[in-house]
Chain A
């Protein structure tokens, strides 16, 4: 099971509120604005800035 499409539709970066998109085969959610990538663990999106990595 992956992140439910209904949830994916509304998820945004908690810092800049830009919509996020799935990356790394569903293991991360990337913000197009600030390039933070939030991990997804056991289908739970971890939308905490201190858990995110910044990828250019």
Chain B
């Protein structure tokens, strides 16, 4: 399958070059903050994470999820990505495509999908994956989803430009896929049989300069540097409370529930 080949290649490159280590650590931080805000109060029994790129490239979210759930299942379409996840021994790894989930109905209390479903060629892939997620959630179970926010003009422009030069210059680390804006996402989630509980945005710092700064600072990486650098980047998240949030957020962040 094309996706498996593509993500195996990404895994090989990242394993050898280990790029963006500092940036990925910041990405983990903002996503963990979102989970802290949105995770249901009671511990979950089973959690599904729809890809393990976070855990492959840095610490990821699995250790935090493992502290709040009995079982965390990490899915990925790339076997090499799954093999490269070594830091989290409690993660149960499964190779599969999010558009065809290999689980029985109502298997999970929680599905965490962090920029997985914005990597398919068309929105049909996103629709299919949402339907599958709704199927494997138990009634009352929740989906926490992030994906590229096409209402942000920078993201929209990046996604229509030809990928090859962007990849060659390191502007994007891997090929992007089809995504949508907040209104469309709400409709797709609804059509999949889920109810949107909250819809917001994530990652408001200017991404290109931030990634470039992270690359320059990486040789000096340490607890002190992380503290002030991450604090500076996190200050931008205040834009998430502004009415303009859908124009500045890189990711849409959605919390949805399967009612019955």
| A7–B94 touching, CB < 8 Å | yes
| A48–B1 touching, CB < 8 Å | yes
| A12–B103 touching, CB < 8 Å | yes
- Which A residues, 18 to 56, have Cβ-Cβ distances below 8 Å to chain B? 19-20, 38, 41-51
Q: Contact mask B68-82 → A, CB, 8 Å, 1/0?
A: 001101000101001
| B71–A7 touching, CB < 8 Å | yes
Q: Is the interface of B mostly helix, strand, loop or mixed?
A: mixed
Q: How many residues does chain A have at the interface if contact means C-beta atoms less than 8 Å apart? A: 24
| B100–A14 touching, CB < 8 Å | yes
- Which B residues, 96 to 128, have Cβ-Cβ distances below 8 Å to chain A? 96-97, 100-105, 107
Please give the residue numbers on chain B whose beta carbons come within 8 Å of chain A beta carbons, in ascending order.
Answer: 1, 4, 46, 70-71, 73, 77, 79, 82-83, 92-97, 100-105, 107, 135
Instruction: Tell me the bound Cα distance from A19 to B104 in angstroms.
Output: 7
| A4–B101 touching, CB < 8 Å | no
Instruction: Tell me the bound Cα distance from A35 to B101 in angstroms.
Output: 17
| A11 touches which of B46, B70, B102 (Cβ 8 Å) | B102
| B100–A10 touching, CB < 8 Å | no
Contacts of B97 in A (CB 8 A): 14, 48
Contacts of B105 in A (CB 8 A): 17
| A10–B77 touching, CB < 8 Å | no
Shortest Cβ gap from B123 to chain A (Å):
21
Do A10 and B107 contact each other (CB < 8 Å), given the known contacts A4-B92, A48-B95, A48-B97? yes
| B4–A17 touching, CB < 8 Å | no
What residue in chain B is nearest A31 (Cβ atoms)? B102
Shortest Cβ gap from B65 to chain A (Å):
15
Contacts of B94 in A (CB 8 A): 7, 11, 44-45, 47
Contacts of B70 in A (CB 8 A): 6
| A12 touches which of B46, B82, B92, B104 (Cβ 8 Å) | B104
Instruction: Tell me the bound Cα distance from A44 to B79 in angstroms.
Output: 8
| B83–A14 touching, CB < 8 Å | no
Do A10 and B46 contact each other (CB < 8 Å), given the known contacts A15-B100, A44-B83? yes
Instruction: Tell me the bound Cα distance from A7 to B93 in angstroms.
Output: 9
Shortest Cβ gap from B199 to chain A (Å):
29
Contacts of B135 in A (CB 8 A): 17
Shortest Cβ gap from A45 to chain B (Å):
5
Contacts of B83 in A (CB 8 A): 42, 44
| A10 touches which of B79, B95, B103 (Cβ 8 Å) | B103
Instruction: Tell me the bound Cα distance from A13 to B73 in angstroms.
Output: 16
Shortest Cβ gap from B259 to chain A (Å):
21
Question: Lowest 5 CB-CB distances: which A-B pairs, in order?
Answer: A47-B102, A14-B100, A10-B107, A47-B96, A14-B102
